[in-house]
Structure 1
Amino acid sequence: MRSSLPPLNPLRAFEAAGRLGSFTLAAQELRVSQVAVSKQVRALEEYFGVTLFERGHRSITLTPDGARMLPAVTLALDQIAAATSGLKHRGRSDMLSIQAYTTFAQRWLIPRLAAFPRMFPDIEVRVTASLLPANFGHGGIDAAIRSGTGEWPGMSADFLTPLELVPVCRPGLIDGGVADPAVWLRGATLLHSLSRPEDWSVWLKGRGIEGVGMRDSMRFENSAMAYEAALQGAGIAIGIRVLVESYLASGALVAPFDYVHRLDGGYYLIYPSTARPSRTLALFRDWLLSATGTGLA
């Protein structure tokens, strides 16, 4: 009976956590806090009177009850998403949904988007952020911007901009200059992004610097937070050059070393190759490639 249906939001939190095996990843997908996901799951457990997850120190595991329940909930939510997506997009060829990483959206995509509605006022662009792989099945997105080497199975990929690593800090942090980068870095506080945990190690190896430990460091959820910490003088962040260009141009941040490490690949606009792009996506793709100077593929 429908009167016995459990509340939808706790079901969504349970399904995401069970499918991803993590409250943290579920929170990122649902764009809520980890605490909110935990509370929603707890509410569902109280509703049923059973335990759905065994909670470890930094892990969760489905209980037998949770494991039996998860496939049915996933199927039901997929069916709801498919049905509502069809209704939402019926007759709405003017709607375009783009997904990107949080920092990339803030520092690169959004500053460029202001020109798009002036050229195409009939197209409404919606931008969402996620670290998770783009889900075109029931994610409600038309295209995504992701970093990689351009190879995604079943996807078309258009190159947008390279991935180049450059350390940045507030100008006052290097008063007197940097005579020896290795010595200076050994006494500096390194600012890391948890979403790109290897960038400092990659840059140091490329520069040929050894013996720089990671004990005197601070770690942040994303690169935007690490850049903000650098702006406040908390230490030196490892930046992606296209994301810190405006800081460097304004002088808010400086690059104390002349070495820039270029990674393989770059940022790409990706979308399913199994179907012809919609009019709105084709217009956005052509505009974006023209705006970035990469030309049409």
Structure 2
Amino acid sequence: MSNSIPPLNPLRTFEAAARLSSLTQAAEELNVSQVAVSRQVKVLEEYLGVVLFKRLHRGIELTDEGRQLYEGVTRAFVEIGNAARRVSRRGRRDILAIQSYTTFSQRWLIPRLTQFHEAFPRIEVRLSSSTAPVDFETQNLDAAIRAGKANWPDLHSEKLVDVELIPICSPAFQEAHKLRCPDDLSRVRLLHSMARPTDWAAWLKRVGSTVDPSPGIRFESSALAYEAASLDIGVAIATKVFVKRHLQAGSFVAPFDMTCYSGEGYYLTWPKSIAPSLPLQKFLSWMREQIDKDEVSSS
């Protein structure tokens, strides 16, 4: 056997059969006959001089050699796909595809995007929103903003902000209910985010309150809970950085001068297997500058 790369068509067929553990399903995915799949696998086995699959009664199973090859082929195909996407994007324009949470986008990122476009007019940001974990192998994304404790072993993670929790309500609500201490929350309606279901319990525990955090109204996102608070419906538990401008402007008030850190943060993440593109590097540097400005204005 030479040191050249094995034939690509048999490699592609092998990858599909190994991933699906089925010659029949591989044939359906590749839109060829099962006989053609078997033939391509046989070509690869003869080229390598090893058996790649054990033929079982109800399907196929990788041999040790087949498993080693599959791991390498999978990594190579992912890298080829990533390189193709990068080249394709750069051939058209500087596109930066970012996935974020609705609340982070609405309350922090979108109000600042005009400044980013003024600084980098050739970079087109494509912003999507989801609370589901991102899959960089199947989604056409450069990076994603995620909340947590950075325990994502396959991702680079650059911390943007810590999650600092603070209760908020409208000025009219505070005037009507005269909230003076955390235990006064037992008299009012708590507004919860289903995306961050433990925030109220964490804050109440940290400040030593015995108020039951369970009752109240639950919203799909923190952004909706904040909107409900602005309409005098109750008290929301907020991530401070998302409501800082509204607190300064007086459209929200914090009934208690008590905050707590959840131990989580918001991070900009991207796969370790991919070097960050130049647009992503510029975006990360710009976000750091914005966060530094926020910290200076708070001090």
Deviations 1:57-83 (A, max 9, x none): xxxxxxxxxxxxxxxxxxxxxx9xx69
Written as runs of structure 1 = structure 2, the 5 A alignment for 1:262-277 is 262-277=261-276
Which residue is 2:64 aligned to? none
Which residue is 1:128 aligned to? 128
Which residue is 2:179 aligned to? 178
Runs of 4+ in structure 1 over 6 Å off: none
CA distance in 2, matches of 1:283, 1:181: 43
Aligned-residue offset at 1:181: 2.6
Q: TM-score, normalised by structure 2?
A: 0.66
Q: Is the 8 A contact 2:226 2:236 kept in 1?
A: yes
Q: 1:200 to 1:213 in 2, by over 3 A?
A: closer
What fraction of aligned residue pairs are identical, expressed as a percent? 42
CA distance in 1, matches of 2:225, 2:104: 13
Aligned-residue offset at 1:85: 5.2
Kindly provide the amino acid, as one letter, of the partner of residue 212 in structure 1.
D
Which residue is 1:222 aligned to? 221
Kindly provide the amino acid, as one letter, of the partner of residue 178 in structure 1.
L
Indicate the SS of the match to 2:91.
coil
Aligned-residue offset at 1:179: 3.6
Moved more, 156-165 or 143-152: 143-152
CA distance in 2, matches of 1:138, 1:261: 37
Aligned-residue offset at 1:87: 8.5
Question: Which protein has the larger Cα radius of gyration, Structure 1 or Structure 2?
Answer: 2
Kindly provide the amino acid, as one letter, of the partner of residue 219 in structure 1.
R
Which residue is 1:117 aligned to? 117
CA distance in 1, matches of 2:181, 2:281: 50
Kindly provide the amino acid, as one letter, of the partner of residue 214 in structure 1.
S
Indicate the SS of the match to 1:226.
helix
Kindly provide the amino acid, as one letter, of the partner of residue 227 in structure 1.
Y
Q: Is the 8 A contact 2:170 2:251 kept in 1?
A: yes
- The count of residues paired between Structure 1 and Structure 2 equals 213
Which residue is 2:252 aligned to? 253
CA distance in 2, matches of 1:210, 1:241: 23
Indicate the SS of the match to 2:107.
helix
Q: Does 1:289 align with 2:288?
A: yes
CA distance in 1, matches of 2:208, 2:230: 26
CA distance in 2, matches of 1:226, 1:155: 30
Written as runs of structure 1 = structure 2, the 5 A alignment for 1:36-55 is none
CA distance in 1, matches of 2:287, 2:211: 42
Q: Is the 8 A contact 2:185 2:211 kept in 1?
A: no
Q: TM-score, normalised by structure 1?
A: 0.67
CA distance in 2, matches of 1:283, 1:117: 11
Q: Where does the alignment leave 5 or more consecutive residues of structure 1 unmatched?
A: 1-78
Q: Is the 8 A contact 2:204 2:213 kept in 1?
A: no
Kindly provide the amino acid, as one letter, of the partner of residue 219 in structure 2.
F
CA distance in 1, matches of 2:248, 2:206: 25
Kindly provide the amino acid, as one letter, of the partner of residue 274 in structure 2.
A
Deviations 1:2-59 (A, max 9, x none): xxxxxxxxxxxxxxxxxxxxxxxxxxxxxxxxxxxxxxxxxxxxxxxxxxxxxxxxxx
Instruction: Provide the aligned C-alpha RMSD in A.
Output: 2.3
CA distance in 2, matches of 1:224, 1:171: 18
Indicate the SS of the match to 1:144.
strand
Aligned-residue offset at 1:290: 2.3
Aligned-residue offset at 1:213: 5.1
Kindly provide the amino acid, as one letter, of the partner of residue 191 in structure 1.
L
Indicate the SS of the match to 1:114.
helix
Aligned-residue offset at 1:163: 0.3
CA distance in 2, matches of 1:144, 1:168: 28
Aligned-residue offset at 1:123: 1.1
Aligned-residue offset at 1:221: 1.0
Q: Where does the alignment leave 5 or more consecutive residues of structure 2 unmatched?
A: 1-77, 294-299
Q: Is the 8 A contact 2:166 2:260 kept in 1?
A: yes
Deviations 1:231-265 (A, max 9, x none): 00001011110111122111111000111011113
Kindly provide the amino acid, as one letter, of the partner of residue 230 in structure 1.
A
CA distance in 1, matches of 2:186, 2:155: 43
CA distance in 1, matches of 2:275, 2:181: 54
Aligned-residue offset at 1:113: 1.5
CA distance in 1, matches of 2:287, 2:182: 38
Q: Is the 8 A contact 2:182 2:204 kept in 1?
A: no
Kindly provide the amino acid, as one letter, of the partner of residue 159 in structure 1.
K
Deviations 1:137-176 (A, max 9, x none): 1111100111112231121111111101100001122227
Q: Is the 8 A contact 1:93 1:279 kept in 2?
A: no
Indicate the SS of the match to 1:136.
coil
Aligned-residue offset at 1:89: 2.7
Q: 1:220 to 1:279 in 2, by over 3 A?
A: same
CA distance in 2, matches of 1:281, 1:173: 42
